[in-house]
Structures are given as C-alpha cells and as structure tokens.
Amino acid sequence: MSNHYLDVALGLSATYLALSLLCSASREAIASLFQSRAKMLLDGVLTLLYEPAGLALLRGILPSLQRLLRREAGFDLRGLGRDSLAAAVMSHPLITGQAQAGRMPSYIPSSMFARAVMDTLQQRYGRQTSARSLLAQLGNPALQRTLLALLGEVDDLAALEQALSNWYDTVMARTTGWYKRRSQSVLFGIALVLAVALNIDTFTLSQRLWSDENAAQQSAELAAQMSAQMSAQAAQAAAQAAAQAAAQAAAQMGQQNSVFEPAPVSPAILGTASAQLNSLPIGWPSARLDHLAQLSAGAAAGAVLLTALGWLLTAFAASLGAPFWFDGVGWLLALRGTGARPASSVSGEGAQGQR
C-alpha cells in the first residue's frame, strides 16, 4: 500500500487520538472540580440503602456549583433527614476519614463500607446477638428484605456484614455503568466543542492531508512519537495496576468501584497531542464558510450542513476514546514499517471512553 495513503490515514487517526487525549484530560479536570466521582458514589449508596428521595438533593446546577466551591451543601446529608441511614453511614469516621475536610470520598472499599453500616446499626439499635434481631429493627422494609434474602438461612452478624459487602459490590458495579455512560456523554460534548472551536472538520482535513504530502508525512511522524510515548505510559500503568491489584487482594478489599479512580494523561503525551493538532491544516477561518454571502441559498445551506457533519464526525470519532485510536495508530504504523503494533491498549479507559 502506498505510504501516502497510510500517511493520510495516520494523520486522521492521530488527530482523533490527540483530540481524545485532550478531551479525556478536560473530562478528568471537570470530574475533579465538580467532584463527580464522589457524587456518583453517593448516588450509589443512596440506591443501595433504598433512599431514592435523597438523589434529588445532589442534582441540578446549584449543588454542582456548591461542590465546585467546596461547600458542604453540595453533599447535603442534613437534607436526608435525621433518620437517614445513608447520612449516618456517610458521616461515619471510617468514611469521612478517607476524604479531605468538606469533601466526600470517591472510593470506599466494600469491607470498610460494610463495617461502617454495621457499627451505625449497632449504635442505633444496640448490640444485638443475631443478624435477624438487628434487621428486625430497621425502618426500611426494602433494605431489610434484601439483606434477609442475602443472608439465607444464616443468622450471624459476621454473615450480615459479608452480605452488606456483597450487596455494596453489586450496586457499585451498576454505578460504574452509570458513571461510564455519563462520562461518554461528557466526552462527546467536549469533543464537539473542541471540534467547533478549532474547526476540525473531518472532510476538509481529509482533503488537505490528501493534497499536501508534507503535512500528511509530518502528521505520521508525530503519530509515531505519540504512540511510543503512550506505549511507555501503558507499560508503566499496567505495572502499577498489577501492584495495586495484588495489594487489594491481600487486603481483601472490593474493587468493583475502581471506576472512580482517575487515569491521568502524562504532560509529555498532552504536549505531543497539542503539537499534532498545531501541525495540522485546521482552525479558523474556514475555507468552506468564508464566502457564504456569495453563494446561493442552497449552496450556502449545503456548505454549513457539510461543515456541521464534519464537526459531528470528528466529535464522534474522538469520543471513541484514546485506546481505540492508539490501537489504530499502532496498526497503521506497523503497516507503514515505522513501528510495531502495541501489545495492549492504553490503561485506564475503555475503548468507548471510560474512568
């Protein structure tokens, strides 16, 4: 296959990869500023303890701004009421000790959560000798029925604590799905904003790379550099993940809500991604939209529609995630003869966009 074909394909793939990296970094910054992981974790706890009314207290613009400003009202546990088990558990020292003052934790091990619930229940209802006698005093029939079903025929406090831990892992697995879907929407929104702001129109970019061999070759070289840097980061991240998994297994800690742990992109890779975008024939003014006034109404509408479709295509491609394009760039580099296909995808985010 002609190197020019591959250079054009590499230029497009590297553009989507660079944009995906910038979008991922922006999404992580937004998640950190608005404490999105902590909010989603608290959503999961409210669902787990069957207190759906409390979910409304965390939604909306005002609570988001309060979390941005690190105000306690952003996580309004007092609004849950004095009898709320979720408020009592999330205010337990075992939980609050895992976050800075004025913030909520974004990760709680299942064993720690179960211990906090058991201690809260025993503080409320006294030290019971059996699990069923403790659950009989719960004023939450749905939670009571769930835990009794998980206990089965066993009537032991240790078994109840293990049942709570298992139930927590189950709900957190579902909460992980919520977070990933929301993150995917945010990623697409950021990608669309950047595509419009930088005027990254896939159709125009393809034409320019095809007609300018130097630009296509320069993009391919930057793609090779970015791929090498990301391969090195992926190897380091894989080693760290293996060490962390071993430590968690040794401590018998649940890993179901690991989605709440961020996977930052290194500054070196972000720098290369920015260089990739700076090297491309993108930006304003737009050749297609420059002379709209001189076109007929139909031609002007067609130009605007084609440009909008180009932006949407760029945003959709970027929202597939950096690992998807990382693998694609690796395959193209192997075909081009300038690099080997990477052994694995970038750690920390699924091919559909994900921590």
Q: 74-85 pLDDT, tens per residue?
A: 777 777 888 888
345 in any annotated domain = no
Q: How far is residue 107's CA from residue 309's CA, in Å, rounded to a whole number?
A: 39
Q: How far is residue 258's CA from residue 348's CA, in Å, rounded to a whole number?
A: 10
pTM above 0.85, yes or no: no
349 in any annotated domain = no
Residue 244's pLDDT is what? 56
- How is residue 167 written in tokens? 């139930």
Task: Name the band, by pLDDT with cuts 50, 70 and 90, for residue 165.
Answer: very high
DSSP string, 194-238: HHHHTT--HHHHHHHHHH-HHHHHHHHHHHHHHHHHHHHHHHHHH
353 in any annotated domain = no
Give the length of the chain: 355
From the list 119, 177, 114, the residue with the least C-alpha distance to 150 is 114
Among the ranges given (116-130, 149-163, 181-195, 341-355), the one the predictor scored with the smallest mean pLDDT: 341-355
Q: Higher model confidence: residue 192 or residue 124?
A: 192
Domain count, the chain: 1
Query: Any residues with CB less than 8 A from the CB of 131 and at least 6 apart, and which?
Result: 147, 151, 154, 155, 156, 157, 159, 160
Among the ranges given (2-11, 111-120, 202-211, 245-254), the one the predictor scored with the smallest mean pLDDT: 245-254
346 in any annotated domain = no
Q: pLDDT tens for residues 261-285?
A: 445 566 766 776 776 677 677 777 7
Burial of 64 (0-12, 13-18, 19+ CB in 10 A): middle
**C-alpha R_g of the chain:** 25
348 in any annotated domain = no
Q: Which percentage of the chain shows pLDDT scores above 90?
A: 14
Residue 119's pLDDT is what? 92
186 in any annotated domain = yes
* Domain region containing 215: 3-336
> What region does 11 belong to: left with phi over 0, alpha with psi -120 to 50, or beta?
alpha
Q: How far is residue 166's CA from residue 254's CA, in Å, rounded to a whole number?
A: 9
Is 252 a residue whose pLDDT tops 70? no
Is 339 a residue whose pLDDT tops 50? no
93 in any annotated domain = yes
Residue 5's pLDDT is what? 84
8 in any annotated domain = yes
* Amino acid identity at 73: A
Among the ranges given (143-147, 155-159, 213-217), the one the predictor scored with the smallest mean pLDDT: 213-217
